[in-house]
Amino acid sequence: MRIGVLAVQGDFQEHCAFLNKLSVETVEVRLPEDLHDLDALIIPGGESTTIGKLARQYNLIEELRKLSKTIPIWGTCGGLVFMAKEVGFDQPLLGIMDVEVERNAFGRQVESFEQDLFIDGLEGPAFPGIFIRAPVVKNVGKNVRILCQINNDRIVAVRQNNLLATSFHPELTSDDRLHGYFIAMAENPK
């Protein structure tokens, strides 16, 4: 199992360390040539405007769009923003996920928070949700399944076939269930 982590900016090292602990080989992706022979790809948290611009400068946007048709891709926080079709700002987007996203939907950093979550498809106790200047999904297309909602039905985790996206940061926790869920998506591509 080889999972690429988009490494242009953000907490890609945290995702790599998490996957390595689960005995998964990781590749830091900065250029199109780093995308060979991957079983799946993670787009980490970070500044979505920065990630988008750096991806565009080195021709990663088209390559990632092509890849999204063949392997599982998971975006966390800024990664969710980058995958979305519409975010209400003029910034480079992959547009591979049929969702409309609101950036910084809970406010600025002083409003960042931790909250227990119950996520469709995860067994066991609540999942520790870490929300940092987090986005939410405002609208979903018909092929998008909602996996988790919090306060007044705000959508914070979604899946569209081989694409997974979360507003929060499992890579900052010690709970490996969502990484396990994603690895299972890569092991059994549908």
Partner 1 sequence: METGTLTVKRGHAQMLKGGVIMDVVTPEHAKIAEEAGACAVMALERVPADIRAHGGVARMSDPGLILEIMSCVSIPVMAKCRIGHFVEAQILEAIGVDYIDESEVLTPADESNHIDKMNFKVPFVCGCRNLGEALRRIAEGAAMIRTKGEAGTGDVVEAVRHARSVIGEINKISVMRTDELAAYAKEIGAPLELVRETAEKKRLPVVNFAAGGVATPADAAMMMQLGVDGVFVGSGIFKSGNPAARAKAIVQAVTHFNNPQILAEVSKGLGEAMVGIGISQLPESERLAVRGW
Site string for partner 1, 109-148 (x = CB under 8 A): xxxxxxx--------------xxxx---------------
| Choices 10-18, 118-126, 138-146, 176-184 (CB under 8 A): range interacting with partner 1 | 10-18
Is residue 171 part of the annotated active site? The answer reads yes
H helices present in the chain, as ranges: 12-21, 48-57, 60-67, 78-83, 177-187
7 interacts with partner 1 by CB under 8 A: yes
Nearer to partner 1, 109 or 188 (CB): 109
- Contact between 103 and 89 (Cβ < 8 Å): yes
Distance of CA 31 to the CA centre of its chain: 19
Distance CA 26, CA 30 (A): 13
Q: Which of 16, 102, 148, 169 is catalytic?
A: 169
Cα atoms in the Cβ-side hemisphere of radius 13 Å centred on 189: 13
Is residue 62 part of the annotated active site? The answer reads no
Nearer to partner 1, 7 or 64 (CB): 7
Which amino acid type is present at position 100? E
DSSP lists the bridge partners of residue 157 as 148, 166
Where does this chain bind partner 1 (CB under 8 A)?
7-14, 30, 45-47, 49-50, 53-54, 57, 77-78, 89, 103-104, 107-115, 130-133, 151, 169, 172
Give catalytic residues, as residue numbers: 77, 169, 171
